[in-house]
A and B are shown apart, each in its own frame.
Chain A
Amino acid sequence: MLFLALRQLFSRPRQTVLAILGIGLGTTAFLAISGMMLGFREVIIRQLVNSTAHVSITPHEDPVTEHSLDGFFFPGSLVKWISPPVAKDESLHLDFPQGWFDRLDQDPSVEAYAPQFSVQVLISRTKVSRPIRLMGVVASRQIKATDIQEDMVEGNFQDLDKGGFLVILGRSLGEKMGVRKDGAINLIDARGASHPAKVAGFFDTGITDIDDTLAYAPLHYVQQLNKTPGEISQIAVRLKDVALARATADQWALLGRDKVQSWDQAFANFTTVFKFQDIMRFTLSWIIVIVAAFGVYNILNMIVIQKRGEIAILRSMGFDQRDIILLFFQQGLFLGVCGGLLGMGLGTLLCLYLETIHFGGMGHTTIDHILISWRLSTYLIGFTLAFLSGVFAGFFPARAASRMSPIDILRAEGS
């Protein structure tokens, strides 16, 4: 039957090519759009994860409610505040970081973790000064828990561990300060004291907000600068599986008062955008299936109607209903498979082309060209969509053909 099916298709080269093109272009569009959406998303996620770690543990911050201070000021009394206290019961450091270290060391889902201590300082050089966040880290741990090493554009992040008050700046911050590698800068703490430091390198995360306002320094120097030795303000955790970040964070949050956030909770607005994108992609895929399937359905339906007489004679020769279904169903499958393959080919070419398109920076990030995700799964989905449109479109005409009674056809055609 495959022989007959193919011959029937090849005897209508124009319609067949059009049907394949229809499916193919639909698949191409799906692949290009998915590639761009996912490509953009992967970079954003990488940058977000990079700047926050998969899971971050920070001190609790509970808003002060009307009665939360009663016991402190007036133990044992009922209090009616004329003007209730407004504040945040916020701690700048983790109460018991060692407890976290112990449990993270034992947790098999943890890939690495890095303690951090951040303070606000002014960075100054000659007459320029800017407020920045100075993050104290243990370089060897930081590079395991985050992607910072990949973002280094000059110098080596591990040099921070070499000794001395070294800092690594965001590239754009360095440019604004007019400082080069090995140049000297001053860090001015909240008390006004000045601490000289040397620039050991630059990083570039692609997120302007971070590159403009963040500097890394060795952990114990930052703790000393703040006169708070041993304090930890944040623990960045990398999990073995980033997909479990949210579940893990929620689970750990139950263990104490400290705030445990996964990267996607920290950037909830982005995840909303991603969900929206997924809905769009999903809708698009169905539109493609329907449009492509309609093209195939049309051509097959026409073939079936034209070939009523031949269907009847095949039945009289002993071909059964199953054979007739196969005859037309295989044509649908063939169109679907060819369209899918064509779409994957064209889609790959289009994505390769899109990758070369450059445009200006986009404000918050320094992404300057179209990013394409090359996930195999996207291609498998694209092919499956094409295949399904062939299956659906082939099935109904095939079933209709198989249900035709040969005798009714012969009588209708013969008269």
Chain B
Amino acid sequence: MGILVKNLEKSFGQPPTRVLKNLSFEIKEGEFVAITGRSGSGKSTLLYTLSTLDPLTSGSIKLDGKEISKLENVELHQFRNLRMGFVFQFHYLLPELTCLENILVPARKTNRHEALEKTALGLMEDFEITHVKDKVPGKISGGERQRVAIARALLMKPKYLFADEPTGNLDSISSEKVLRIFERVNKKDKTTILMVTHDMGYAGRAGRRIGLVDGEIDFDRKRKT
């Protein structure tokens, strides 16, 4: 069903500053979309608004046909838990848990952390981080941390993966690994990915690029294949 955005407006403060200006577009299921633009153009704001974390000011966002501003509390949290994964520039792993336990945290919401342990181990193998499974995040490299965070975001097999500059803190080798993972997940599991990035090279690897300038869509193109 995908994401359907109509006349989306988002403003902050008093008097209101418009950060997202009358955006309308559609993201189909299984797309890999890169959102690019200058600092302050509203990329993060768009991502958070689409992903229910930040309420919109006006307009409409339909996620799988559901108007997200009208979701009840329980439904909203179910949406986040089951249909969405988040990856940020910073990993936000819980320092007192091992990497495996960290990956399983989303499953604790529904008490399925034991049932999903195999899935978690499978993800770790895919992402070449099996060797850190019993270590705490403080004792592994930045690239490994980010891959643990991605594994955590994908544990519940979400339909949508939202990533805000996932490679922002990583060197080129680690960044490349993250990109490969994104590409594979998008292809193999048909996960819809929205990735904010500054890096034109990585943006070019997404199937579609949306460029923002001052809260408006500057360009929206599909990659020619």
Which residues of A does B touch, CB under 8 Å? Answer: 1, 3-4, 7-8, 10-11, 309-310, 312-320, 323, 406-407, 410-411, 413-414
Contact = CB atoms under 8 A, between A and B. Distances in A.
A313 B94 CA distance: 9
Contact of A318 (B79, B90, B97): B79
The interface centre, meaning the residue of B44, B86, B92, B95 with most chain A CB atoms within 10 A of its CB, is B92
Interface string B100-119: 00000110110000000000
A323 B110 CA distance: 12
A1 B105 CA distance: 10
Given A318-B79, A406-B53, A4 B108 contact: yes
Contacts of B9: none
Given A314-B105, A318-B109, A414-B88, A11 B77 contact: no
A312 B96 contact: no
Nearest to A312: B92
B94 A310 contact: yes
Given A7-B96, A11-B96, A407-B54, A414 B89 contact: yes
A240 to B, nearest CB: 55
A319 B106 CA distance: 8
Contacts of B81: 317-319
B80 interface: yes
A16 to B, nearest CB: 12
Contact of B80 (A10, A318, A407): A318
Nearest to A316: B86
B43 to A, nearest CB: 12
A4 B44 CA distance: 29
B88 A317 contact: no
B44 A323 contact: no
A1 B78 CA distance: 17
B48 A407 contact: yes
A413 B165 CA distance: 14
A331 to B, nearest CB: 12
B108 A3 contact: yes
Given A317-B81, A410-B53, A411-B44, A10 B89 contact: no
Given A7-B97, A11-B95, A410-B53, A319 B88 contact: no
Given A4-B108, A318-B84, 14 more contacts: A4-B97, A4-B105, A309-B92, A310-B92, A315-B80, A316-B53, A317-B80, A317-B152, A318-B82, A318-B106, A319-B77, A407-B48, A407-B54, A411-B44
A64 B136 CA distance: 91
Contacts of A320: 73-74, 77
Nearest to A313: B92
In this complex, which of A320, A323, A413 has the most chain B Cβ atoms within 10 angstroms of its Cβ? A320
26 contacts: A4-B97, A4-B105, A7-B97, A8-B96, A10-B96, A310-B92, A313-B88, A313-B92, A314-B105, A316-B51, A316-B53, A316-B80, A316-B84, A317-B81, A317-B86, A317-B109, A317-B152, A318-B78, A318-B82, A318-B84, A319-B77, A319-B81, A406-B53, A410-B48, A411-B44, A414-B89
Interface string B52-64: 0110000000000
A316 B76 CA distance: 10
Contact of A414 (B74, B90, B97): B90
A10 B94 CA distance: 13
A316 B97 CA distance: 18
Contacts of B53: 315-316, 406-407, 410
Interface in B151-177: 152, 164
A1 to B, nearest CB: 8
Given A310-B92, A318-B77, A414 B86 contact: no
A407 B48 CA distance: 8
Given A407-B54, A410-B88, A317 B106 contact: yes
Q: Which of B96, B106, B164 has the most CB of A within 10 A?
A: B96
Nearest to A318: B81
Contacts of B51: 316
A352 B80 CA distance: 56
B211 to A, nearest CB: 21
A175 B183 CA distance: 103
Considering the complex of A and B, which 4 residue pairs feature the smallest CB-CB distances, nearest first?
Answer: A318-B81, A11-B96, A318-B80, A313-B92
A320 B48 CA distance: 17
Nearest to B55: A407
B64 to A, nearest CB: 15
B96 to A, nearest CB: 4
A317 B80 CA distance: 6
A309 B73 contact: no
A414 B109 contact: no
A315 B106 CA distance: 10
Contacts of A317: 80-81, 86, 105-106, 109, 152
Contacts of B78: 318
Most buried by A among B54, B73, B84: B54
A316 B160 CA distance: 13
Contacts of B88: 313, 410, 414
